[in-house]
Structure 1
Amino acid sequence: MLQTIRIPSDGLMLSGILSIPDQLAATMPGASYPIVVLLHGFGANKEDHVLAITHAFLDKLGYATLRFDMRGCGESEGERAKVLCEDQVRDAHNAVTWLLSNANVDTSRIGIFGHSFGAAIAVYAAATDNRIAACISSAGWGDGASKFREQHASPQAWEKFTSMMEDGRARSRAGESMRVSRFDIVPIPQHMRAGLPPGAFMDFPYEVVESMFRFRPNDVVAQIAPRPLLLLHPSFDSVTPTSQSIELFRHAKMPVDLHLFAGIDHFIFADENTIALNLLSDWLAKNLAGQDKACETHSKKGSGQ
């Protein structure tokens, strides 16, 4: 059961989709249920392929989900492509506030999942909002400055990137605007670009670069504890350096799990990675669904459903 919704966020309206699994709606009418908020990647939208796979998988497991376009993205209001990290954290918090008005949502079991850019937002949002009960970060990052340094690794690439920042800062001081190509901000190998969803932005206002550069989920990730945190990352990631999730793990407090996956690059769920999906299923059963749901999930897996 899909419901198109509108979420108020700092004077803007965000476009979202609330999904209630058919079996949940049929067998538990009027009952409260756990829900996972799904955050899309950099300049993407709620049709992000990773979110589509994650939503479909969670739906089969019986979890409700909420996915929405961040401000300035997709069908949401806001300045196009002005995807500032701080604003997106506010959007995530306001999405949780909207969920609290839904009588069928178990307010003690709201999880949050983000991929890549969305993972950094998810970690920061969970750390600064105790209403979020569990957090999953997929190929995320914890320090914008060190992330950019690794992404622009060669001396030539780093000089080009820092020169772009100097130009952007100078123009900002002069009251001028500057647009920056997506791939000058975050290099993505040509063969990986098909993973970008239709409608993803190809350039951004310079303010986005500054926002990402100063954004540091590492500074707040420890505040998620004692709520659970799951960090997922490819063991080699050609987009977001694997070291970013390792550093998030080092800055976090227990309970936190870190899993690295071989043989897949950045879009962990894009190829329906069954190892990652089964791990996510078990982790959610333990940390969000509750014991009854955990038993039900394992029973289905054991019976081949």
Structure 2
Amino acid sequence: MRKIFLFMAAIISAFAISAQTQTIVIQGPNGKLMADLSVPSLNTNEKKTVAILMHGFGSNRHRPLLRAIYDKLSECGIGAIRFDFDGCGDSDGEFVDMTVPKEIADAKAVYEYVRDLPWVSDIYLIGHSQGGVVASMLAGELDKDAVKGVALLAPAAVLREDAIRGNTQGAKYDPITPPEYVELPSGIKIGRDYIVTAQTLPIYDAALQYQGPVLMLHGTSDIIVPYTYSLRYNDIYQNGSLRLIKGVDHSFNGYEKEAADIVANFFINTVNDYVL
């Protein structure tokens, strides 16, 4: 048994050493998007799967959860790219100008960049929180065979209802006539366009257009996005797999490695056996 463990550890170590990370710039529809791309070791004419990782509301590509997933996929020989949405992290733009449709457009630009890499075969989408909404809607928008599998971690479909009732992350406003911008308790600001577009966002209608394999991973102690939103996602997906994790919060704090293992195992053991 110990020999098997050491053999598997050696394989993982080899992947980790051979994978190369590049910091790249992708031209998005609203400016330059900064990204980190992990390129697995490739033999001549070999093609690899790549996962596109999308961070949550007001976050960035360096968050512990995304880093853990990125590193785990790289260890498993799966290419990965994590990027900052427009107005976030190191990318161009101002966060106050952010809307979900703009983030979908950013993600589509990253998808097109990855799709055109000569060594890429299949593409996965992974999104946390608002990034989960973006990933689910983009998968539904793209062609039937464009995405091999999707993983949604605490997908924040609550954002539409928040905008309708005029309460986003504890900041209250008039939802009928929203102000030019709203300052949230965290100090960041959202613009009127974010609120107005969120109120009519067809989250589930767009998402259900994708019927490939989908993992929904959600903590039962998430007070920002209740896990019931993943339950609803699970209802619309014919090939959905729901994992509820007792006691875990919205950011998967302290559970990043375990979440990364679940995501990697889902793609390796479930998605790769699925025929589009």
- Separation in 1, partners of 2:220, 2:166: 15
Question: Is 1:128 equivalent to 2:138 in the alignment?
Answer: no
Q: Please list, as runs of the form range in 1=range in 2, the aligned pairs for 1:115-264 lying within 5 A after superposition.
A: 115-130=128-143, 131-142=146-157, 144-146=159-161, 161=172, 163-166=173-176, 168=178, 171=179, 177-181=180-184, 183=186, 202-225=188-211, 227-252=212-237, 254-264=238-248
- Separation in 1, partners of 2:27, 2:219: 35
- Separation in 1, partners of 2:226, 2:199: 15
Give the aligned partner of residue 266 of structure 2: 283
- Larger fraction in helix: 1
Judge conservation of contact 1:110–1:133 (CA < 8 Å) in 2.
Answer: yes
Q: % of aligned pairs identical? A: 21
User: Residues 48 and 29 from structure 1, CA distance in 2 versus in 1: closer, same or farther, beyond 3 angstroms?
Assistant: farther
Q: Please report how far the alpha carbon of residue 151 of structure 1 lies from its aligned counterpart in structure 2 after TM superposition.
A: 10
Amino acid aligned to 2:38: S
User: Residues 278 and 46 from structure 1, CA distance in 2 versus in 1: closer, same or farther, beyond 3 angstroms?
Assistant: closer
Question: Is 1:54 equivalent to 2:77 in the alignment?
Answer: no
Across the aligned residues of Structure 1 and Structure 2, the Cα RMSD in angstroms comes to 2.6
Q: Please report how far the alpha carbon of residue 75 of structure 1 lies from its aligned counterpart in structure 2 after TM superposition.
A: 1.9
Amino acid aligned to 1:2: T
Judge conservation of contact 2:158–2:225 (CA < 8 Å) in 1.
Answer: no
- Separation in 1, partners of 2:101, 2:151: 19
Q: Please report how far the alpha carbon of residue 149 of structure 1 lies from its aligned counterpart in structure 2 after TM superposition.
A: 7.6
Give the aligned partner of residue 5 of structure 1: 24
Q: Please report how far the alpha carbon of residue 49 of structure 1 lies from its aligned counterpart in structure 2 after TM superposition.
A: 2.0
Question: Is 1:266 equivalent to 2:276 in the alignment?
Answer: no
User: Residues 134 and 244 from structure 1, CA distance in 2 versus in 1: closer, same or farther, beyond 3 angstroms?
Assistant: same
Runs of 4+ in 1 over 6 A off after TM superposition: none
Amino acid aligned to 2:71: A
- Separation in 1, partners of 2:103, 2:203: 13
Amino acid aligned to 1:229: V
Q: State how many pairs are aligned.
A: 252
Q: Please report how far the alpha carbon of residue 30 of structure 1 lies from its aligned counterpart in structure 2 after TM superposition.
A: 4.2
Compute the TM-score of the two structures, normalised by the length of structure 1: 0.74
User: Residues 150 and 239 from structure 1, CA distance in 2 versus in 1: closer, same or farther, beyond 3 angstroms?
Assistant: farther
Judge conservation of contact 2:32–2:91 (CA < 8 Å) in 1.
Answer: yes
User: Residues 150 and 289 from structure 1, CA distance in 2 versus in 1: closer, same or farther, beyond 3 angstroms?
Assistant: farther
- Separation in 1, partners of 2:175, 2:254: 32
User: Residues 271 and 259 from structure 1, CA distance in 2 versus in 1: closer, same or farther, beyond 3 angstroms?
Assistant: closer
Give the aligned partner of residue 19 of structure 1: 38
Give the aligned partner of residue 38 of structure 1: 53
Compute the TM-score of the two structures, normalised by the length of structure 2: 0.81
User: Residues 10 and 272 from structure 1, CA distance in 2 versus in 1: closer, same or farther, beyond 3 angstroms?
Assistant: closer
Amino acid aligned to 1:281: A
Question: Is 1:114 equivalent to 2:127 in the alignment?
Answer: yes
Q: Deviations over 1:98-120 (max 9, x none)?
A: 112211111xx100000001011
- Separation in 2, partners of 1:150, 1:228: 33
Q: 2:93 aligns with which of 68, 72, 78?
A: 78
Q: Please report how far the alpha carbon of residue 147 of structure 1 lies from its aligned counterpart in structure 2 after TM superposition.
A: 5.1
- Separation in 2, partners of 1:113, 1:9: 19
Judge conservation of contact 1:43–1:81 (CA < 8 Å) in 2.
Answer: no
